[in-house]
Amino acid sequence: MIKDSQEYQITKNWVTKFEEASLKVKESSERQLKDPEGWQLMQDSYNVQKQNLLNEIREYEALLAHDLSQPVEFELEDMKYFSDLLIKARIALKITQKELAFLSNHTEEQIIRFEEKNYHNASYVSFLKVQSALGFKNKNGKFTAQLNDFYQKELNSLRSQEHLDIYVHKAS
């Protein structure tokens, strides 16, 4: 799962590398003749890896393109991946890790560490605070996330303050 713009760029670079490697294998007619099964396995391996990365890119781009006027909707087949939904919701709701830290009463470093470890290192209370800040609800086995009015006001206030701080800092 791609969690931020840096990982997005790295993933796109890996797609390019897999495409280049696949072309090199395709052009190796000698290897194809000597070991057709091995040659095909290499081709298939590169193609599968590339497709997996492309799927991750599509998912990340869809999260970025989410319309904030609508709740983010998720289906989850296995609860062990619920923590991924927290990260996906943050991305789709266009909230930075710093902003989520503010909304959930954590430090930015804590949120970064939580996301690096897919929240496996978060306490139950921390997990619930993040879930609440993101407005998670479960309805008929489907999960939605949307900031409620309180958190939206808090976020707007934080963003206004940061904008003001940047403006004041640039002016001085």
From 64, 89, 115, the end of a domain falls on: 64
The CA distance from 86 to 46, in Å, is 30
pLDDT digits (tens, 9 = 90+) for 68-127: 999 999 988 777 788 899 999 999 999 999 999 999 999 999 999 999 999 999 999 999
Residue 18 identity:
F
Please compute, for residue 56, the number of CA atoms within 13 A of its CA located in the half-sphere on the CB side.
Answer: 21
Same domain, 43 and 128: no
Same domain, 103 and 31: no
pLDDT at position 75: 86
pLDDT digits (tens, 9 = 90+) for 6-21: 999 999 999 999 899 8
Same domain, 58 and 76: no
Which domain range does residue 108 map to?
A: 72-171
Q: What is the pTM of this model?
A: 0.84
Please give the tally of structural domains in the chain.
2
Which strand ranges, in their side-by-side order, compose the sheet holding 136-139? Answer: 72-75, 142-145, 136-139
